[in-house]
Amino acid sequence: MVRKVLPPLLILLLLASSAPSAAEPAIGKLDISYAKYIVERLTSIGSYKEPRFLGFRATGTEQDLEAARFVAEEMKKIGLTNVSLEPVPVDAWKFKGARLELEDGKVYLASSFGGVPGTGERGIEGEIVYVAGGLRKDYEGLNVSGKLVLAYWNPDDGWFNMIAHEATVHGAKGVILYNPPNGSYAQYPNALHSFDGLYSSDFIPMIVISKEDAQEILKMLEKGPIRGKIVSLAEVRRGTGWNTIGYIPGEKPDEYILIAAHHDAWFYGAADDTSAVAALLTLAKAIKESGYTPKRTLVFMTHTAEEYGMVDAYYEWLIGAWWRITEAHPEWQSKAIAYLNLEAMALRDAVFSVAVIPELSGLVSEVLNESKDLLPHGWELEEIYCWTEVWPYAAAGVPGMNFWTASEWWRRNIYHTQFDAPDRIDWDYLSNIIAVLSKIVIGLDESRILPYDFTARVDHMNERLNVTLMRELGVDPEDLLRKIREFSEAASEFNELIKADVPDDVVSRVNEKVREAARVLLTGLTALDPWDNTIYPHQQAEQDTLSLKLALEALKKGDPETALSAIEGVSINWYAPRFSYEVFLREMYHKSPGWPRINWGALGHLAPIYDLWKEYNSISEKMDKNLTDYSEEMRVVEMYYRVSLGEYQRRVNEMAKVMELASSKIREANSIMKEATPTKVPAEVEFPILPISVLVVILALVVGVVLYRKRKTS
């Protein structure tokens, strides 16, 4: 009898499960004309107005405040509550334009970089001397004292602040920089360029001209010396930038979903990041107009000082986001369940890219897979990266993701140039992207148990643990491996338990424990290497230890060339052959954990920096002179090797503690669910409890089968 009834029963169950249990909450019609209005209005705000309007909304300026006030007013019109501006202390960079004047009367339009001091209207005059890439070797045989240097920028050698410092060390008065043909940035014809400067207050002024104008000047220099004057109307002073914020209150007022973009910009900044501000406000408008009441409080906000915010610092971008999560709203470190960061939306023909922490990668992948028709150029998942504002939030404990449209052509040609204008935006694509974002927001909001997949963290972490190398270097990984296994077991049990119908009265307690586990993992495991990559805390120490070991072994074998290559892999010693010691030291200080203006870098578990500049250059000089006694250099390398090995082991031990604490939080959540969900005693035959409508259909089918058989036998 059971065998005869089960097939139709299973069919009915499958039909019931395939039907939607509830309609997905509508977010209302997306008003893309409103998004266009936002972009047009914000891109009309700018400080660079002469000889033609080029934009610029730098932090701490009148333009920053004007942009913030405009965004806040729009938030109020949309119907967001508790709308306000929140102050952020910054080094304001007020930039009104720059130019290069030659003695023959020729004038070239120029730009500059965040935090670079100006010259005043009188400018700085001098002979122009070409110094190639502006490295230490490029000054050999040249006298640039009191002169202006012309240099190209190769990011593989270092940031352009180091070019400026090298020029300062050699006595130059000012720097004229350009991106070379086939370079990494500003390749669009006649493109100017801007970036955060990573500048120190005692460096000489710097301007940047187009590659075409630079080639013209180089041809002039081939015919003989020329003089010029750089004029940069820039001012650096302590000031205040402004973040904006507005709320859609939820049924759970102490749980937050954060959605953000930044309103500061180089030039017009239409894609980066005005398009994202437009997406943010358009999404908020649609949600409000739909009448949807969120379960959790939705927070819509924009940041200042994403592009630049401080001098005399390395980690001087993302200042508005960092200040908000660490100073203005530290409560979000435990109460915000997710952070969505919007960047460079809807570039034409560009892939939709999402950088996401492992715990949320499953949810994001599911939504993206369901949204293929909205993403005509495809999608990809990436690691979170500290060139976007998701990083300080994640490092402070908030699970996050960053959305942007990735295009290598756009990065090399348009990014941070005056050609980042509204015509770069694909408005239909923008509408699609906002629809995808709405799915993720609603998915997060509707989740009863927070949708964190901790097993994804285990996989992610294991991929970055080289246990064989650890043991070869003399580090004991056993405690960490044991704690990861225990964490994995707790996470797997959690995944099984949430498949049951967790009682409503314990959901908040479970989520509290789960949220704390996520915070522990993110704050304890989100680290930085010296090149801005997101890593685990042990990885830079591992790289340093291995490189020091290889350098030491090479020196013992009398192989200085291999030793030099290995030393370049230790912390920032890549710079040792490229820049003067003064330049190297400043960079080292600015990236060291104890630097007073370390800012959000302090969240990144920065590894110690080992200064091998003198040893590197000593070995190199001895090679040139055919000298073979490297005993002194070996002594220093071995000393740092021992220090680095100890640091490596310490970090592995600390990671074990992080995993143990996170495991305890997940186990607490598991215990709550198990206690609240009594184990059922299985009956001999147990049928699922079905709705009356389904039972009626089953009964009708059974009756039909009986009647059919009676008719057939008769």
- Lowest mean pLDDT: which of 319-328, 419-428, 525-534, 676-685? 676-685
Structure-token pair, residue 483: 């704690």
| Residue 14 pLDDT | 26
For residue 348, being part of any structural domain is answered with: no
471 conformational bin, left if phi > 0, alpha if psi -120 to 50, beta if neither: alpha
| Residue 604 pLDDT | 98
For residue 60, being part of any structural domain is answered with: no
Q: Which amino acid is at 313?
A: A
Structure-token pair, residue 607: 């590894």
**pLDDT per residue as tens digits for the range 335-384:** 999 999 999 999 999 999 999 999 999 999 999 999 999 999 999 999 99
Structure-token pair, residue 412: 């090399």
Residue percentage of the chain with pLDDT more than 90: 90
Do 71 and 277 form a contact (C-beta atoms < 8 A)? yes
Q: How far apart are CA 537 and CA 523, in angstroms?
A: 11
Do 229 and 173 form a contact (C-beta atoms < 8 A)? no
Q: How far apart are CA 212 and CA 180, in angstroms?
A: 9
Which three-class secondary structure string do you get for 287-318? HHHHCCCCCEEEEEEEECCCCCCCCCCCCCCC
Spatial neighbors of 607 by CB under 8 A, at least 6 apart, are 529, 530, 540, 541, 544, 571, 647, 651
CATH code where residue 165 lies: 3.50.30.30
**Is the pLDDT score of 20 beyond 80?**
no
pTM score, two decimals?
Answer: 0.91
Overall average pLDDT of the 94-108 stretch = 97
For residue 589, being part of any structural domain is answered with: yes
DSSP annotation string for 579-600: S-HHHHHHHHHHTSTT-TT-GG
Domain count for the chain = 2
Domain that holds residue 670: 449-681
| Residue 677 pLDDT | 72
Question: 681 pLDDT band (50/70/90 cuts)?
Answer: very low
Q: How far apart are CA 328 and CA 325, in angstroms?
A: 6
With tokens 């190769």, the residue in question is 154
SS3 282: helix
Task: Identify the CA nearest to 170 among candidates 600, 588, 580, 464.
Answer: 580
Q: How far apart are CA 629 and CA 606, in angstroms?
A: 34
Q: Are strands 296-303 and 252-262 parallel, antiparallel or unpaired?
A: parallel
| Residue 691 pLDDT | 54
Do 492 and 455 form a contact (C-beta atoms < 8 A)? yes
Chain length of the chain = 714
**pLDDT per residue as tens digits for the range 470-480:** 999 999 999 99
Q: Which is more confidently placed, 691 or 614?
A: 614
Q: How far apart are CA 117 and CA 113, in angstroms?
A: 9
For residue 653, being part of any structural domain is answered with: yes
| Residue 19 pLDDT | 28
Q: Are strands 296-303 and 227-248 parallel, antiparallel or unpaired?
A: antiparallel
For residue 480, being part of any structural domain is answered with: yes
Question: 22 pLDDT band (50/70/90 cuts)?
Answer: very low
With tokens 């008719």, the residue in question is 711
| Residue 714 pLDDT | 45
For residue 390, being part of any structural domain is answered with: no
**pLDDT per residue as tens digits for the range 575-632:** 999 999 999 999 999 999 999 999 999 999 999 999 999 999 999 999 999 999 999 9
Residue 339 β-bridge partners:
258, 400
**pLDDT per residue as tens digits for the range 164-220:** 999 999 999 999 999 999 999 999 999 999 999 999 999 999 999 999 999 999 999
Overall average pLDDT of the 673-677 stretch = 89
Last residue of a domain, one of 236, 262, 291: 236
Question: 702 pLDDT band (50/70/90 cuts)?
Answer: low
**pLDDT per residue as tens digits for the range 436-460:** 999 999 999 999 999 999 999 999 9
Last residue of a domain, one of 236, 269, 285: 236
Q: Which is more confidently placed, 690 or 516?
A: 516
For residue 74, being part of any structural domain is answered with: no
**Is the pLDDT score of 321 beyond 50?**
yes
For residue 616, being part of any structural domain is answered with: yes
Last residue of a domain, one of 204, 236, 268: 236
Q: How far apart are CA 215 and CA 669, in angstroms?
A: 65
